Amino acid sequence: MIITLKKTAPEEEVQKLIKRFENMDLQVTMIYGANYNVFGLVGDTSKVDEKNISANPIVTNVQRVAQPYKLANRMFHPEDTIVDVDGIKIGGKNIVLIAGPCSVEGEDQIVRIAKEVKEAGANMLRGGAYKPRTSPYAFQGLGTEGVLDLVKARDLTGLPIVSELMSVDKLDEFVKNVDIIQIGARNMQNFDLLKAVGRTKKPVMLKRGLCNTIEEWIMAAEYIMAEG
């Protein structure tokens, strides 16, 4: 449900309305716009009396939202989301280039590539320390050693690092060392993993693959945002 407020609504009255919704066990998201302010309500909004809310003098419109994925829906946050990663702004009109090898194969390799990536003008370094492979006999990545090699490359170049997280048991390692946690197409419906990264407050990059639909991507974003 979306409730549009008058721009001139007194803050005291706004807070009273927020408290009222919170007492109904609803999650309230306040969206500040140039010409209006709105509430985004998530939860069981069937208990909300639309006529009663519309009668409030600070409310101009009440609208129920039928679309799924309310947290990731533009109707709830029409303004662009800007994510700050060590001073690098991601989102809006900002163009951020992330580059690097598919897999980290050693310190010398990733440090050399990191320097080349920086010289080429990229903003961040990516590299896989844990690699999902179709064959169990293929190279699976260096694991923790690969993560620490990425950290070394960041220390030498100043480039924030991005790497793919494969399982919840490695989450603490990524929170400690990685700037952006990447979730790949294979884990787009790994809901336990999505919820876990959503609770970390770390930036998360959902990497769509050829097997992923827009619906799956939005669903994964919704799971992460629901935990944040």
So what's the pLDDT on residue 66?
Answer: 67
Phi, psi of 132, deg, nearest 5: -75, 125
So what's the pLDDT on residue 101?
Answer: 95
So what's the pLDDT on residue 183?
Answer: 94
User: Which residues sit opposite 54 in a β-bridge?
Assistant: none
pLDDT-derived band at 209 (thresholds 50, 70, 90) equals low
- The distance in angstroms from the start CA to the end CA of the chain is 20
Tens digit of each residue's pLDDT (9 = 90 or more) over 96-132 = 999 999 999 999 999 999 999 999 999 999 999 998 8
pLDDT-derived band at 201 (thresholds 50, 70, 90) equals confident
Could you tell me the domains of the chain?
2-63 (3.30.70.1140), 83-227 (3.20.20.70)
Confidence check: pLDDT of 152 > 90: yes
Tens digit of each residue's pLDDT (9 = 90 or more) over 2-34 = 889 988 889 999 999 999 999 999 888 887 777
More confident residue, 77 or 164: 164
Q: How far is CA 41 from the centre of its chain?
A: 19
Least confident of 28-32, 158-162, 196-200, 214-218: 214-218
Tens digit of each residue's pLDDT (9 = 90 or more) over 154-193 = 999 999 999 999 999 999 999 999 999 999 988 988 999 9
Average pLDDT over residues 203-220: 76
DSSP codes of every residue in 103-166: B---HHHHHHHHHHHHHTT-SEEE-BSS---SSTTS----THHHHHHHHHHHHHH---EEEE--
Helix (H) or strand (E) holding 217: helix 214-227
pLDDT-derived band at 84 (thresholds 50, 70, 90) equals very high
So what's the pLDDT on residue 165?
Answer: 96
Give the whole-number percent of the chain exceeding pLDDT 70: 95
Least confident of 60-74, 184-198, 207-221: 207-221
More confident residue, 46 or 143: 143
